Chains A and B, each alone.
Chain A
Amino acid sequence: MKTLKQRRKRNETWIKYLLSALATISVLTTLGIIYSLFSETFVFFQHVSIVEFFTSLQWSPSLKPQHFGVWPLVVGTAMIAVGSAAVAIPLGLGSAIYLSEYAKKKTRKVIKPILEVLAGIPSVVYGFFALTFITPILRDLIPSTKIFNAASASIAVGIMIIPLVASLSEDAMNAVPDSMRQGAYALGSTRFEVATKVVVPAALSGIGSAFVLAISRAIGETMIVAIAAGQSPILTFNPLNSIQTMTGFMVNVALGDIEYGSIEYQTVFAVGALLFLLTFSLNLIARYIVKKNRETYA
């Protein structure tokens, strides 16, 4: 007969194995993502030349004659990324500076949660707002604006990622030791000088990584662009035109009846793989910026 102690020891070992098995699921998720994306992509590139994919300027995978040049989607995605960054970076950094350097504690306590609500609103809601509120205003201002256009979606995506930029930048600024601020104040600096010449430079790596992460988020954003940016994979650099992003294309195909194993089905995975590689690289860059430039203040 086993003693109580032995039984307990055996149970403890089992529990440890069980927990480590649960922990392994997150690793399996990553492997699953890589397998899902790249196995179909591999098949895709047996039918479509990889050279065409990366050099052709036409994208029409479901229309004859078929063209598989991914550039229209990449340029569409880049327009959304640049446009939303142009909204989110100045506003997010400005909010962070205000909250960390100017706002009184009480004001901060009120405004910060309000900004965080922006991050919690589902992206379909932003999409609805972009289409039914931002677009009509843009069309009033510039009548040549299309109903579906990159600018409206960019503004909505930009506002959505303000809290991301603001909170990561603010974290970076909060990590700057107060002694540095006080030193600058003691020399007679104004708050503007402290913020722009001491705090922001000291927090620059954290702020830079916040910008990169924001762009990565914008690239992966789906519903806003699916609703407001259009479904026209045509190469254009005019933000008032209808475009299609990589994510927009994926949703659009998934909503139709895609036949398993058809070339359209595989196209979605090829575009998905590209999207994954792009966002993954940006996330790595963001982490590298922080790691490389981390200064320790003793």
Chain B
Amino acid sequence: MKLDSIEARRYIARKLKQRKALDKIFHGIVFLATMVGVVFLAVLLTKILRDGLGNLNWNFLTSFPSRFPSKAGILTALVGSVWIISLTILIALPIGVGTAIYLEEYANKRSKFYNLLVVNIANLAGVPAIVYGMLGLMVFVRLLQFGNSILSGAFTLSLLILPVIIVASQEAIKAVPSSLREASFALGASKWQTVGRVVLPYAIPGILTGAILAISRAMGEAAPLIMVGGAGYVGFLPDSPMDVFSALPLQIYNWTSRPQTEFQNVAAAGIIVLLALLLTLNAIAVFIRNKYSYRMD
């Protein structure tokens, strides 16, 4: 068959049509695959709003938990979450940012210690959340005698989100142009002066964005808090970090796993509160990123 014979041209034309059709079909398939996630998200949000909105009112936000679905409120869980998250920020942020400064500004990048730290952080990021709960149970609840307290929960969640904060802070510090550091050194500033007054101010929007995303992860975690003894039903508000606690995801879990279907609607209302808080946090992160992220050229 000669290449320019009629049969050959027909063959090529047919083949080309097939290949183009295949391309279109594949385009459709991968588009649908992408849409599954998007549609799932839409259905999930609709379902939760439809189930939960009816229960969501001022009473729900200001009442203690109850055996009766109509009286059940989310106050203790909300206050518990605020306590835990505030403490987690106080613990995790200095450690995470300090580690990132050490790694990026001080450590000798060819040293074994640096290598150990980097590999270790990468490994920690892959450890399941519940395993951090075991660590918390052993070290904070038992060994340090914090008991089933807010403090144990906050320390556990801090260690859980530490890798995220470290990596995000490292990225933010890496993005600081070295010309700024050199200018600072040229003016006679010491290393710490340079870090504190030049590098950190420039890197802080990036660090905060990463930290907020890490915090929103901590806010939704239930498993590690269950391991350190967080409860799904606490009838009073905590006065100190040594008190027993509930938290939003624990309360939601508690309501979801009750047999009465009314409680599932209460759970949905709780989920709306949790998602609203997460949405607010993320909006703040996006705002900070857009408002303060500038590049020097």
Check if B203 is an interface residue, CB within 8 A of chain A. no
Which chain B positions have C-beta within 8 A of A222? 128-130, 222-223
Given the known A-B contacts A20-B106, A33-B127, A131-B256, are A121 and B27 also in contact in the complex, defined by CB atoms under 8 Å? Answer: no
Check if B116 is an interface residue, CB within 8 A of chain A. yes
Q: Are A33 and B106 in contact (CB under 8 A)?
A: no
Which chain A positions have C-beta within 8 A of B191? 12, 15
Q: Are A91 and B44 in contact (CB under 8 A)?
A: no
Check if B86 is an interface residue, CB within 8 A of chain A. no
Which chain A positions have C-beta within 8 A of B31? 98, 102
Chain B residues touching A, range: 35 or more
CB within 8 Å of A: which B30-52 residues: 30-34, 36-38, 40-41, 43-44, 47-48, 51
Q: Which of A128, A163, A221 has a CB less than 8 Å from the CB of B252?
A: A128
Q: Are A223 and B127 in contact (CB under 8 A)?
A: no
Q: Which of B26, B38, B135, B226 has a CB less than 8 Å from the CB of A33?
A: B135
Check if A280 is an interface residue, CB within 8 A of chain B. yes
Report the Cα distance A162→B35, complex, angstroms: 11
Q: Are A125 and B44 in contact (CB under 8 A)?
A: yes
Which chain B positions have C-beta within 8 A of A63? none
The interface-forming segment of B56-64, B159-167, B175-183, B288-296 is B159-167
When C-beta atoms are compared, the residue in chain B nearest to A228 turns out to be: B256
Given the known A-B contacts A20-B102, A29-B159, A272-B130, are A40 and B37 also in contact in the complex, defined by CB atoms under 8 Å? Answer: no
Q: Are A120 and B249 in contact (CB under 8 A)?
A: no
Q: SS class of chain B's interface: helix, strand, loop or mixed?
A: helix
Q: Are A26 and B124 in contact (CB under 8 A)?
A: yes
Check if A124 is an interface residue, CB within 8 A of chain B. yes
Which chain B positions have C-beta within 8 A of A36? 134-135, 137-139
Q: Are B26 and A192 in contact (CB under 8 A)?
A: yes
Check if A30 is an interface residue, CB within 8 A of chain B. yes
Q: Are A16 and B106 in contact (CB under 8 A)?
A: yes
Q: What are 29 A-B pairs with beta-carbon distances under 8 A?
A: A18-B98, A20-B107, A25-B162, A29-B124, A36-B134, A36-B137, A94-B30, A94-B32, A94-B33, A95-B33, A98-B27, A114-B38, A118-B37, A120-B217, A121-B220, A124-B271, A192-B19, A195-B26, A196-B26, A220-B128, A222-B128, A226-B223, A227-B253, A247-B130, A250-B130, A254-B133, A255-B226, A272-B131, A287-B122
Which chain A residues have a beta carbon within 8 Å of chain B's beta carbons? 8, 11-12, 15-16, 18-20, 22-23, 25-27, 29-30, 32-33, 35-37, 39-40, 90-91, 93-95, 97-99, 101-103, 111, 114-115, 117-118, 120-125, 127-129, 131-133, 159, 162-163, 166, 190-193, 195-196, 213, 216, 219-223, 226-227, 247, 250-251, 254-255, 260, 268-269, 272, 275-276, 279-280, 283, 287
19 more A-B residue pairs beyond the given contacts A26-B166, A272-B130, with a C-beta to C-beta distance below 8 A: A36-B138, A94-B29, A95-B34, A98-B33, A102-B30, A115-B38, A122-B221, A122-B278, A128-B268, A128-B271, A132-B51, A162-B37, A166-B37, A192-B23, A213-B126, A219-B128, A222-B223, A223-B222, A275-B130
